[in-house]
């Protein structure tokens, strides 16, 4: 194995994407973000779509930039793709798109969501089969809607590739479903690593669209010839199926205590609050608490709940002309929000009207009005209210896990964009009553690269990787205040 070893993480989030070059040498990982670009879905008529061609263009640009950033004569050993969960491409045998790629916030799943919510027996059956609660964005509801409203799709599509699977196909020419991303669909069997016949039947999704999921670390082959454009650096680059779900990558990157006493938050557009477990957390109580038993790259479980996250703040900012445009202005906003006294009442962050409103500020104001609570006066006031409310949401999720899994968490580890938000970290510590440790760590990209290094046998396993990673990491601790 040549050292240093270079790998690239293609890390696509719902609001921004990145291509990151990783350099592994002397047990240290150095990251170089060679390409970052905004991502958004577009509304056409009644529906919301991803610009999948635009994303692919950015992936290729990022790969070119990664090659340009390599030292002279160095080669890119491998590349891996992770994306947000649940969204997919329907393709034919040749990988040709036969249906537009919808965005998970599209309202087309609302009738199916309500139908399942109102059918208690089916709801419990689907949860027992998949370990995934009934949430508006599930691929199961999305696919159910397509099959019901566009029945010709069964003649057109032969495969359903989740977005990381689709990009892996474009890069390598090989079609596979990877386990972690498959586990976000509500179609995977919670007790095995294969599809759930009961769930596929319930949603009437054709079973032949899927193949048995591969585990993270599977080598899919070399980059396709037409992508290497004669570059020696790319001639032998392997495409590796990393944990395709960005949250699985972020969880893998947690420099956690090996005794399992840490709760994890991957904080970005969503706050993904959860932990690693050898067994799923199931049952009636778990269903009510919306515990989602998604999978880790190696097949184990990461029970988690989705708290709405900084989507609330991102949306609210759009309603203020004075929103920060650089790091300095951000810091000033957080400082102004910190100086305010804490709100007397918090938002109910589980309000479904926050999912995809035309105006987030209007949605927040409407909830406050309903509850007869005065609205904040300015952006700093909204920022304070949102961060404190999310902190409470994080703590509520922690308590639900402690009760159901019979555990006691000693610390909360935060990675992702929100780990830089002091207000959010402190609010979480205060509400949870345990210390919060935030890491300046691009969790998703680091987990993506870790999986490649293990597949390339440059690192023995994840536990070893975490030890090396933790040794060089900057961390900030927040002690709870009453
Ligand atoms: C985060 C994330 C969450 C998933 C949501 C929708 O980027 O992947 O884990 O629930 O996006 O797919």
Range of the domain at 85: 5-241
Which of 241, 269, 304 is the C-terminal boundary of a domain? 241
Q: Mutation test of ligand 1: which of 12, 39, 85 has the most ligand atoms closer than 8 Å to its C-beta?
A: 85
What is the structure's pLDDT at 322? 80
Buried b (16+ CB within 10 A) or exposed e, 430-465: bbbebbbbbbebbbbbbbbbbbbbbbbebbeebeeb
Check whether residue 223 and residue 279 sit in a common domain: no
Beta bridge partners of 28: 25
Residue 52 has pLDDT above 80, yes or no: yes
Ligand 1 center to residue 181 CA distance, Å? 10
> Is 417 touching ligand 1 by the criterion CB < 6 Å?
no
pLDDT of residue 472: 82
Band (1; pLDDT cuts 50, 70, 90): low
Rounded Cα distance between 27 and 197, Å, is 44
Closest C-alpha to 278, from 261, 253, 295: 295
Q: Which atom of ligand 1 is nearest to the CA of 306?
A: 10
User: Is residue 462 one of the residues assigned to a domain?
Assistant: no
CATH number at residue 325: 3.30.420.40
| CB distance 292 to ligand 1 below 6 Å | no
pLDDT digits (tens, 9 = 90+) for 337-385: 999 999 999 999 999 999 999 999 999 999 999 999 999 999 999 999 9
Verify whether residue 252 is a known catalytic residue: no
Q: What average pLDDT does this structure show over 457-462?
A: 96
Compute the distance from residue 451 Cα to the ligand 1 centre, in Å: 19
Whether 263 has a pLDDT exceeding 80, the answer reads yes
Q: Which residue has the tokens 């047990």?
A: 27
455: in domain: no
On whether residue 468 sits in a domain, the answer given is no
Q: Is the CB of 41 under 6 A from ligand 1?
A: no
Question: Is any ligand 1 atom within 6 A of the Cβ of residue 12?
Answer: no
Which of 112-119's residues contact partners 24+ apart within 8 Å by CB, and which partners?
112/141, 112/144, 112/145, 113/141, 116/141
Pick the range with the lowest mean pLDDT from 205-214, 219-228, 276-285, 323-332.
Answer: 323-332
Give how far Cα 405 sits from Cα of 30, 125, 191, Å.
Answer: 36, 21, 17
Question: How many Å lie between the centroid of ligand 1 and the Cα of residue 90?
Answer: 19
* pLDDT, tens digit (0-9, with 9 covering 90-100), for 429-446: 999 999 999 998 889 999
**412 shares its domain with 274:** yes
Q: What does the pLDDT look like over 406-426, one tens digit per residue?
A: 999 999 999 998 999 999 999
Q: How far is the CA of 339 from the centre of ligand 1 (A)?
A: 32
Report d(CA 212, CA 65) in Å as an integer.
34
214 and 267 together in one domain:
no
Q: Is the per-residue pLDDT at 269 higher than 70?
A: yes
Per-residue confidence (pLDDT) for residue 206, from 0 to 100: 98
What pLDDT is stored for residue 411 in this prediction? Answer: 97
Is 86 touching ligand 1 by the criterion CB < 6 Å?
Answer: yes
Distance 247 CA to ligand 1 centre (A): 7
- Say whether both 401 and 266 belong to one domain: yes
Neighbours of 321 (CB within 10 A): 6
Cβ of residue 104 lying under 6 Å from some atom of ligand 1:
yes
- Within its chain, how far is the Cα of 441 from the centroid? 15
Structure tokens at 342: 């804490």
120 and 214 belong to one structural domain: yes
Q: What is the pLDDT of residues 90-138, one digit of tens each?
A: 999 999 999 999 999 999 999 999 999 999 999 999 999 999 999 999 9
Same domain, 366 and 261: yes
Please report how the helices 422-432 and 327-339 are oriented relative to each other, as an axis angle in degrees rounded to 10.
Answer: 40
Global pTM reads 0.94
Residue nearest to atom 7 of ligand 1 (CA): 84
pLDDT band, residue 239 (cuts 50/70/90): very high
Question: In this structure, are 26 and 150 located in the same domain?
Answer: yes
Confidence of residue 198 (pLDDT cuts 50, 70, 90): very high
- What average pLDDT does the segment 320-332 reach? 89
Task: Please give the average per-residue pLDDT across 214-221, as a whole number.
Answer: 98
Residue 2 has pLDDT above 80, yes or no: no
Pocket test for ligand 1, best of 103, 247, 303 (most atoms within 8 A of CB): 247
Please check whether residue 479 lies inside any domain of the structure.
no
Pocket test for ligand 1, best of 12, 14, 293 (most atoms within 8 A of CB): 14
Q: Is the CB of 311 under 6 A from ligand 1?
A: no
Contact call for residues 268 and 251 (beta carbons, < 8 A): no
Confidence label for 182 from pLDDT (cuts 50, 70 and 90) = very high
Is 413 within a domain? yes
- Ligand 1 atom nearest to 85, measured from its CA: 12
Mapping DSSP onto H, E and C, the string for the chain reads CCCCEEEEEEEECCCEEEEEEEEEECCEEEEEEEEEEECCEEEECCEEEECHHHHHHHHHHHHHHHHHCCCCCCCEEEEEEEECCCCEEEECCCCCECCCCECCCCHHHHHHHHHHHCCHHHHHHHHHHHCCCCCCCCHHHHHHHHHHHCCCHHHHCCEEEEHHHHHHHHHHCCCCCEHHHHCCCCCECCCCCCECHHHHHHHCCCHHHCCCCECCCEEEEECCHHHHCCCHHHCCCEEEECCCEHHHHHHHCCCCCCCCCEEEEEECCCEEEECCECCCCCCHHHHHCCCEEEECCCCCEEEEEEECCCHHHHHHHCCCCCCCCCHHHHHHHHHHHHHCCCCCCCCCCCCHHHCCCCCHHHHHHHHHHHCCCCCCCCHHHHHHHHHHHHHHHHHHHHHHHHHHHCCCCCEEEEECHHHHCHHHHHHHHHHHCCCEEEECCCHHHHHHHHHHHHHCCCCCCHHHHHHHHHHCCCEEEECCCC
Mean pLDDT of the chain: 96
Please work out whether the CB of residue 272 comes within 6 Å of at least one atom of ligand 1: yes
Higher pLDDT, 162 or 420: 162
Q: Total domain count for the chain?
A: 2
In this structure, the answer to whether residues 286 and 358 fall within a common structural domain is: yes
How many angstroms from the chain centroid is the CA of residue 478?
A: 24
Say if strands 218-222 and 238-241 run parallel, antiparallel, or are unpaired. antiparallel
Q: Is 351 part of any domain?
A: yes
pLDDT of residue 168: 98
The token pair at 104 is 């998970």
Mean pLDDT within 68-73: 96
| Domain identity same for 214 and 290 | no
- In a domain, residue 136? The reply is yes
**Ligand 1 centroid – CA 292 distance (Å):** 11
Sign of the dihedral defined by the CA atoms of residues 176, 179, 185, 190, in that order: positive
Q: Which atom of ligand 1 is nearest to the CA of 14?
A: 7
Q: Would residue 449 count as lying in a domain?
A: no
Nearest to 253 by CA among 479, 86, 80: 80
Tell me how far the alpha carbon of residue 85 lies from the centroid of ligand 1, in angstroms. Answer: 5
With 80 as the cut, is the pLDDT of residue 3 above it?
no
Residue 258: the pLDDT is 86
The catalytic residue among 87, 165, 246, 262 is 246
**Better-scored residue on pLDDT, 149 or 324:** 149
Give bridge partners of residue 414 from the DSSP assignment: 265, 438
d(CA 134, CA 126): 9
> What contacts 93, CB < 8 A, 6 or more positions away?
158, 159
**Could you say which of 185, 213, 241 is where a domain stops?**
241
Q: How far apart are CA 413 and CA 158, in angstroms?
A: 41
Please give the distance, rounded to the nearest whole angstrom, from the Cα atom of residue 251 to the centre of ligand 1. 13
The residue contributing the CA closest to ligand 1 atom 9 is 247
Single out the residue of 189, 299, 187 nearest to residue 243, CA to CA: 299
């Amino acid at each position: 194995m040549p050292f240093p070893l270079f790998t690239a993480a293609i890390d696509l989030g719902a609001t921004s994407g990145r291509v990151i070059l990783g350099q592994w040498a002397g047990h240290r990982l150095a990251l170089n973000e060679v390409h970052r670009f905004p991502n958004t879905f577009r509304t056409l008529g009644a529906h919301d779509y991803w610009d999948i061609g635009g994303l692919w263009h950015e992936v290729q640009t990022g790969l070119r930039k990664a090659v340009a950033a390599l030292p002279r004569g160095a080669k890119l050993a491998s590349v891996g793709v992770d994306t947000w969960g649940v969204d997919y491409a329907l393709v034919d045998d040749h990988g040709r798109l036969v249906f537009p790629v919808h965005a998970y916030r599209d309202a087309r799943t609302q009738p199916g969501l309500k139908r399942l919510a109102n059918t208690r027996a089916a709801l419990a059956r689907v949860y027992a089969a998949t370990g995934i609660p009934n949430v508006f964005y599930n691929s199961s509801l999305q696919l159910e809607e397509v099959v019901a409203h566009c029945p010709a799709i069964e003649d057109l599509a032969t495969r359903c590739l989740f977005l990381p699977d689709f990009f892996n196909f474009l890069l390598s020419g090989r079609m596979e479903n990877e386990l972690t991303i498959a586990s976000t669909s509500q179609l995977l069997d919670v007790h095995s690593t294969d599809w759930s016949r009961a769930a596929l039947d319930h949603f009437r999704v054709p079973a032949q669209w899927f193949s048995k999921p591969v585990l993270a670390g599977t080598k899919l082959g070399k980059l396709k010839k037409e992508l290497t454009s004669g570059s020696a650096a790319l001639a032998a680059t392997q495409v590796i199926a990393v944990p395709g779900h960005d949250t699985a990558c972020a969880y893998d990157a947690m420099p956690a205590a090996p005794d399992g006493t840490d709760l994890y938050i991957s904080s970005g557009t969503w706050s993904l609050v959860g932990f690693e477990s050898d067994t799923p957390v199931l049952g009636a109580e778990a269903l009510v608490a919306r515990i989602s038993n998604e999978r880790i790259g190696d097949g184990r479980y990461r029970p988690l709940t989705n708290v709405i996250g900084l989507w609330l703040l991102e949306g609210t900012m759009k309603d203020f002309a004075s929103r920060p445009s650089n790091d300095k202005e951000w810091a000033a906003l957080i400082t102004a929000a910190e100086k305010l006294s804490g709100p007397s009442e918090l938002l109910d962050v589980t309000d479904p009207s926050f999912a995809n409103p035309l105006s987030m500020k209007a949605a927040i104001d409407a909830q406050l009005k309903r509850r007869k609570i005065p609205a904040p006066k300015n952006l700093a006031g909204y920022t304070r209210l949102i961060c404190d409310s999310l902190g409470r949401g994080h703590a509520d999720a922690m308590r639900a896990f402690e009760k159901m899994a019979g555990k006691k968490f000693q610390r909360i580890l935060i990675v992702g964009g929100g780990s830089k938000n002091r207000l959010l970290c402190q609010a979480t510590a205060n509400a949870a009553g345990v210390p919060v440790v935030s890491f300046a760590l691009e969790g998703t990209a680091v987990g993506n690269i870790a999986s490649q290094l293990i597949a390339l046998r440059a690192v023995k396993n994840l536990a070893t990787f975490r030890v090396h990673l933790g040794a060089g990491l900057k961390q900030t601790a927040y002690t709870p205040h009453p």
